[in-house]
């Protein structure tokens, strides 16, 4: 290829044009920076140093000086809402929505922020109205997630199912677990009204949605036991072993009660021993211990706990062992054993809690729905000591 001499003229020309464009951009940025008041930069500095109160004061000065700073209005509204000043955030976003000079995108953003203000303030009807009108917008998926939160709070489970199904279709995240739980909540409402056929239908839908929904089989077993069909109830509860053995402790007491109703106490205890060997759990051990104590006496209960402690040592298990030892001990040793047991019991109770995997919230009672973060099935059915050992 022959060298073209005109390139010698073109290269300096292109370089000069690039330098000129960069200089224009720099001058434009410098000009914009000079137009911003000092309060703006002070506010940014306060925000970076996590001094939100001072940052808000500085930004308010900027907004008063230049009402056209729309993005700063958005920033202030978010800061107000984060600090719990929902009324001020609402006024800020209502002002933006009412402005006639805003373009469509900015007005849509202001409306979306206003919906979050209503939700934060507990004005669920207004929030629902805002988010329902945004399903086809750029904020559609986020709006549907907020709608799902609203329907959960209002316990409108059928609406929650519909929204969760829409989210499953458009989001990479599966909502099958949540939908199954919503069906279980519907079933619980029908059981309270004695509409057992409707409840059974909802529980079957829960299992069709998520085959691993242990709660559905727990509830189906409960319905059978209530109708004195204990053999059928036992079969439903046994299915939990194939779904998720971690949930067996929730069925343990139910299984024992139905086996007793059938006059099969020994079979019930044998089943719990088998479950304990497959899926060790402090709750399962506690239920099996109580059954052995009632059926075979303190010595058998002591041996059951001792053997389990050798396989899976735990402080809560040691508490049960000392309880059995205290019942079987001679009179002269009971005071010493009781002293040790009381000390162990005081410490072990701090470990006898359930803990949410999402937010770390702890509770003495098992929850399908975390009271703190709202997660479904976020509480493993194991005490904190079990979780830490695992």
Q: Which helix (H) or strand (E) holds 363?
A: strand 362-363
The tokens for 192 are 């309270």
- Residue 374's nearest CA partner among 58, 125, 152, 96 is 152
- Residue 210's nearest CA partner among 254, 177, 248 is 177
Output the known binding site for Fe cation: 356, 359, 370, 373
> Residue 233: CB partners within 8 Å, gap ≥ 6?
221, 222, 223, 224, 225, 254, 258
Output the known binding site: 356, 359, 370, 373
According to DSSP, residue 355 is labeled E
How far from 292 is each of 258, 271, 326, CA to CA, in Å?
16, 12, 15
Q: Which helix (H) or strand (E) holds 354?
A: strand 354-355
> Residue 247: CB partners within 8 Å, gap ≥ 6?
214, 218, 240, 381
- Separation of alpha carbons 362 and 291, rounded Å: 28
**Cα torsion through 249, 279, 386, 369, rounded to 10:** -50
Taking the alpha carbons at both ends of the chain, their separation in whole angstroms is: 71
- Separation of alpha carbons 322 and 121, rounded Å: 51
Angle, in degrees to the nearest 10, between helices 140-154 and 104-121: 20
- Separation of alpha carbons 218 and 107, rounded Å: 49
């Amino acid at each position: 290829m022959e060298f073209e001499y005109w390139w010698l003229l073109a290269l300096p020309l292109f370089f000069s044009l690039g330098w000129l464009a960069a200089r224009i951009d720099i001058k434009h940025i410098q000009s914009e920076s000079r137009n911003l008041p000092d309060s703006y930069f002070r506010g940014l500095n306060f925000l970076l140093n996590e001094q939100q109160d001072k940052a808000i004061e500085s930004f308010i000065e900027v907004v008063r000086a230049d009402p056209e700073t729309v993005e700063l209005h958005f920033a202030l509204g978010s800061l107000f809402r984060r600090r719990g000043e929902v009324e001020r955030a609402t006024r800020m976003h209502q002002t933006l929505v009412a402005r006639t000079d805003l373009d469509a995108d900015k007005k849509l953003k202001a409306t979306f922020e206003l919906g979050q203000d209503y939700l934060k303030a507990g004005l669920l009807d207004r929030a629902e109205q805002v988010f329902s009108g945004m399903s086809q917008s750029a904020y559609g998926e986020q709006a549907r997630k907020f709608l799902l939160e609203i329907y959960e709070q209002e316990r409108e489970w059928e609406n929650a199912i519909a929204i969760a199904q829409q989210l499953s279709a458009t989001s990479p995240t599966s909502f099958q677990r949540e939908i199954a739980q919503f069906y279980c909540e519907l079933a619980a409402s029908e059981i309270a009204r004695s509409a057992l056929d409707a409840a059974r239908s909802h529980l079957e839908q829960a299992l069709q949605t998520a085959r691993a929904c242990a709660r559905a089989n727990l509830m189906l077993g409960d319905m059978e036991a209530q109708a004195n069909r204990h053999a059928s109830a036992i079969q439903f509860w046994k299915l939990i072993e194939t779904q998720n053995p971690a949930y067996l402790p929730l069925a343990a007491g139910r299984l024992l009660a139905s086996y007793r109703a059938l006059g099969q106490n020994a079979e019930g205890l044998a089943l719990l021993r088998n479950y304990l060997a497959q899926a060790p759990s402090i709750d399962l051990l506690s239920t099996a211990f109580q059954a052995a104590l009632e059926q075979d006496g303190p010595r058998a209960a002591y041996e059951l706990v001792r053997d389990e402690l050798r396989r899976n040592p735990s402080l809560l298990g040691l508490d049960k062992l000392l309880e059995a030892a205290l019942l079987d001990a001679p009179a002269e040793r009971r005071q010493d054993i009781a002293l040790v047991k009381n000390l162990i019991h005081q410490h072990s109770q701090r470990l006898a809690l359930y803990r949410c995997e999402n937010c770390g919230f702890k509770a003495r009672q098992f929850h399908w729905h975390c009271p703190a973060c709202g997660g479904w099935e976020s509480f493993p059915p194991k005490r904190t000591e079990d979780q830490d050992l695992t």
